[in-house]
Structure 1
Amino acid sequence: MTGASGPKPLSVTETPIPGLLVCELPVMSDNRGWFKENWQREKMVALGLPDFNPVQNNVSFNTKKGATRGIHAEPWDKYVSVASGRIFGAWVDLREGRTFGRTFFTELDPSRAVYVPRGVGNAFQTLEDSTAYTYLVNDHWSAEAQSQYVFLNLADETAGIPWPLDLAGAEISAKDRVHPRLSDVPPMPPRRTLVLGANGQLGKALRKALAGRTDVEFAGRGELDLSDPSALAQVDWKNYSTVINAAAYTAVDDAEGSGRADAWQVNGAAVAELARLAQEHHLTLVHVSTDYVFDGARAGHPEDEPFAPLGVYGQTKAAGDLAVATVPRHYILRTSWVIGEGHNFVRTMAALAERGVSPSVVDDQIGRLTFAEDLAGAIVHLLDAGAPYGTYNVSNEGPSMAWADVAREVFVLLGKPGDRVTGVSTAEYFAGRSAAPRPLNSVLDLDKLRATGFTPPPAQERLAAYVAGLADRERAE
């Protein structure tokens, strides 16, 4: 409250329970009473309080000293405070993980509040009559949500909560008196990560990169088809914290004609709906973009280069990028020339080399290969490192190459003469055929990605290893 030198400054401090934060609030008093800013988003977020987007405000009025409520862990975040009176607050970590069972206790009056993350059990005991306890939550209460609560007995010996008033004489509901001891409490599992497009080249690499993670689900087109406008509405998004969108319509030439509507649905409309859902449910949205959003008129495309797509595919991907960029917690990974498990350029060239074919390959489109395992690694790195949200270019390191250079390298790696590959211009290669326009320079600037601590290996090293393992891959498939 207000002291001799005025109100204490606004501050946010950590506690032994990860994510549980104590907020000291300035309270201004005069002869009429007092005033405080109980929740001030801009100031509190700047001090480290999560920007948790509250949607409901609840008040618990307690008539008598000694009223005791809890311990309830709920499937949302909340911000608890006192409007009048005082409480003794107790918190127990009931989340799955190494801090399960960890405790924290403190008194709250109007000058102190606590931010409680999802899954941390919350309880209080009033220390004065007529105490008004208030809390903001970032999800609407429902009977379905209540079924996900985790409860702990107020008298649990392991938690050892030092209640100021003996529980035997306290006002406690019948339900709160019979909740289980800690040894019988099922920990609240974390919200999950959902990977869309899990059967494509990147999706398969993400399956490997995230193998063993019990909090990750994978959905291929068979489980969730983004070409179906109703597909995303079937997902209970409250169960997720992160969505990785590795799905895309990538038939570049078909997008100019028969596939135009599908390209706009999958790359544009579905992504816009994902972005809306991510904002509504406070999700982190990871989205994979492409060099085709640029016209290829310059080398070393930076992340903030203005879009200038040449064809429909690039236009649909640019539209998706613009939608994702509106999500507060988003990562857009812009990549090029992806090589992974499944049909791709390297495998096509390897098959031609083994069959004795001498192909003509374009030599005026310049870029770097991106191996799916490294693109998946970049996604995992950005999420695990808590890198700043935004757009990141991702390809493998090394000198830029033309498609014809890559083809020759594949031939040589297989012991075939590289000069069997003939370089031709894009115009020559597509002469007489209907084809989408391609950017001639797809080299991406990787400085921003490197600054996060992630440097992809050279493309030539990955290419050599990939070609050497082609026989094993084909047997596995």
Structure 2
Amino acid sequence: MDPAQQLRSRSTPIPGLLLFGLPVHGDHRGWFKENWHREKMLAAGLPDFGPVQNNISFNGARGTTRGIHAEPWDKFISLASGRVFGAWVDLREGPTFGTLFCAELTAQDAIYVPRGVGNAFQTLEDNTAYTYLVNDHWSAEAQKDYTFLNLADEQTAVPWPISLNKAIVSPQDRTHPRLPDVVPMLGRRTLVLGADGQLGKALRMAFHGDTTVEFAGRADFDITSEEAYTARDWRKYSTIVNAAAFTGVDAAETAEGRAAAWRVNAGAVSRLARAAVEHSLTLVHLSSDYVFDGTEDVHWEDESPSPLGVYGQSKAAGDGAAATVPRHYIVRTSWVVGEGRNFVRTMVGLAARGASPAVVDDQWGRLSFATDIAAGIRHLLTTNAPYGTYNLSNSGERQSWADIAQEVYRLCGTDPGLVMPVSTVAYAKPGTSPRPRSSVLDLSRIRDSGFDPPAAAQRLADYVIGLQT
């Protein structure tokens, strides 16, 4: 193909606003173009924004002027006929607020306008058909989330080819506020679910001060309730972080616990996945080493699930649902330690009393401190790491539960010899769920993304000291 007839894109001074040149093929009959070609346009740099509605604005007279409107969705604009002068102003909260970009568009041009960037155009020919794709359905309710700027704003000073006193402008567009009076459109928010659990509390700390992150405990958003999903205005969000889970491994083996585990760990995740797909959201979902049977010494992200118990089975089902979301991060972790009930806290209490606990010595893994899991999640989101599954635990040599208990005793100044190592078989009681023999997770992929998990040994020492002060 002639290089001049290839799809091309270029950036603009407004972040995310991309201008495209579209190949147009014509002869004596007229012309043809591929106005929307997802695969080619993604390769040219267009975000996979998931359009759901196509609109056409037909403008019969030259000089018709519309805008400046910043809408709560992304849009991809092109022309079916005619010619326009386009003006775009960044009306999003941030350092580029008020930045102007102008360009003339014909049938050979298109532009991607991200949410919150004000859009306006003026027709330069009669019978101009202005078309656009958007990634949310228009509704009267959505109009409340628009941000407007006056076409004649002196500070922005759009160089309209046809002066506004001679242009065709609606009365409403003439009354929009000047730039100093415009309230910037806030960025889409991140919704953290399960925000009162061990990981949820760590996520609160990791995102402390970030006003774009919203935290919801079970009282605020019950992930098993259909009403919670229908009541939420998903247009305001870009990301869901699901830190909610049923974690009672042994309780899941009971009739009541089995139903709860599947309801929370699988059914609710399916609902979250559906919401993420329908509204083009990123879904961050927490997985577990329990999706494996532990027969492999080290588990990689692409290993097929082989859960032993109900808890692991429900988590594996949830992983499968989360993986259907085009923009997903499945963060698989193990042996979580945070603020709340956990193995290390229990051992510290026993060491303080000089107790002699029996602890399993034939299950191996690494501790995963909730603060580091939260930091890893934030890293994936802020760096726009490739989507997919990431193992995330702390680093270092593998340990058994008995090894960790003995180290906790040593850190507490208590004789590690009080800890009595036992086999899984000897320790198991009726109703105990089977555990994976090895929970060691390979950390190559998370490291390749630029996040190097701290050593478990140092985090354990810091944690134990913190409990004693």
Instruction: Report if TM-score (shorter chain) is over 0.5.
Output: yes
Structure 1 pair 148/377, CA: closer, same or farther in 2 (3 Å)?
same
- Give 3-state SS (helix, strand or coil) of 2:168's partner: coil
CA contact (8 A) 1:227 1:262 kept: no
Q: Would you say 1:333 and 2:363 are equivalent positions?
A: no
The 2-side partners of 1:324 and 1:421 are apart by 40
- Give 3-state SS (helix, strand or coil) of 1:134's partner: strand
Structure 1 pair 6/211, CA: closer, same or farther in 2 (3 Å)?
closer
Q: What's 2:412 paired with?
A: 414
Q: What's 1:361 paired with?
A: 359
Q: Would you say 1:268 and 2:242 are equivalent positions?
A: no
Q: What's 1:255 paired with?
A: 252
Structure 1 pair 80/267, CA: closer, same or farther in 2 (3 Å)?
same
User: Equivalences for 1:29-428 in 2 at 5 Å?
Assistant: 29-257=26-254, 258-428=256-426
Q: Deviations over 1:233-280 (max 9, x none)?
A: 332222111000000000000101131101000000000110011000
The 2-side partners of 1:122 and 1:88 are apart by 11
Aligned residue identity for 1:26: P
The 1-side partners of 2:225 and 2:408 are apart by 38
Q: What's 2:465 paired with?
A: 468
Aligned residue identity for 1:388: P
Alpha-carbon shift at residue 225 of structure 1 (Å): 2.2
The 2-side partners of 1:303 and 1:201 are apart by 23
The 1-side partners of 2:69 and 2:20 are apart by 21
Q: Deviations over 1:83-134 (max 9, x none)?
A: 1110000000000111100110000000000000000000000111111111
Q: What's 2:453 paired with?
A: 456
Aligned residue identity for 1:294: F
Alpha-carbon shift at residue 25 of structure 1 (Å): 0.4
Q: Deviations over 1:64-86 (max 9, x none)?
A: 11111100000000011111110
- Give 3-state SS (helix, strand or coil) of 1:168's partner: coil
Alpha-carbon shift at residue 226 of structure 1 (Å): 2.6
CA contact (8 A) 1:88 1:127 kept: yes
The 2-side partners of 1:6 and 1:273 are apart by 46
The 2-side partners of 1:226 and 1:244 are apart by 12
Alpha-carbon shift at residue 229 of structure 1 (Å): 4.8
Alpha-carbon shift at residue 232 of structure 1 (Å): 2.8
Aligned residue identity for 2:51: P
- Give 3-state SS (helix, strand or coil) of 2:312's partner: helix
CA contact (8 A) 1:7 1:28 kept: no
Alpha-carbon shift at residue 388 of structure 1 (Å): 0.3
Q: Deviations over 1:427-458 (max 9, x none)?
A: 10114x32000001000000011000101110
CA contact (8 A) 1:248 1:267 kept: yes
CA contact (8 A) 2:194 2:242 kept: yes
After TM superposition, the structure 1 stretch with the greater mean CA deviation from structure 2, 304-313 or 57-66, is 57-66
- Give 3-state SS (helix, strand or coil) of 1:90's partner: strand
Aligned residue identity for 2:148: F
- Give 3-state SS (helix, strand or coil) of 2:329's partner: strand
The 2-side partners of 1:88 and 1:229 are apart by 46
Alpha-carbon shift at residue 7 of structure 1 (Å): 5.2
The 2-side partners of 1:44 and 1:227 are apart by 38
CA contact (8 A) 1:292 1:314 kept: yes
Q: What's 2:440 paired with?
A: 443
The 2-side partners of 1:6 and 1:51 are apart by 24
Q: What's 1:28 paired with?
A: 25
Structure 1 pair 471/227, CA: closer, same or farther in 2 (3 Å)?
farther
Aligned residue identity for 2:338: G
- Give 3-state SS (helix, strand or coil) of 2:41's partner: helix
Alpha-carbon shift at residue 334 of structure 1 (Å): 0.4
Q: What's 1:14 paired with?
A: 11
Structure 1 pair 6/191, CA: closer, same or farther in 2 (3 Å)?
closer
Sequence identity percentage: 64
The 2-side partners of 1:134 and 1:57 are apart by 7
The 2-side partners of 1:176 and 1:234 are apart by 32
The 1-side partners of 2:370 and 2:384 are apart by 21
Q: Deviations over 1:44-70 (max 9, x none)?
A: 111111111111111111111111110
Alpha-carbon shift at residue 228 of structure 1 (Å): 3.6
CA contact (8 A) 2:79 2:129 kept: yes
- Give 3-state SS (helix, strand or coil) of 1:147's partner: helix
The 2-side partners of 1:416 and 1:348 are apart by 14
The 1-side partners of 2:174 and 2:234 are apart by 33
The 1-side partners of 2:185 and 2:216 are apart by 23
The 2-side partners of 1:157 and 1:352 are apart by 71
The 1-side partners of 2:213 and 2:87 are apart by 32
Q: What's 1:475 paired with?
A: none
CA contact (8 A) 2:224 2:267 kept: no
Q: TM-score, normalised by structure 2?
A: 0.98
- Give 3-state SS (helix, strand or coil) of 1:286's partner: strand
- Give 3-state SS (helix, strand or coil) of 2:165's partner: helix
- Give 3-state SS (helix, strand or coil) of 2:432's partner: coil
Aligned residue identity for 1:261: A
CA contact (8 A) 1:7 1:27 kept: no
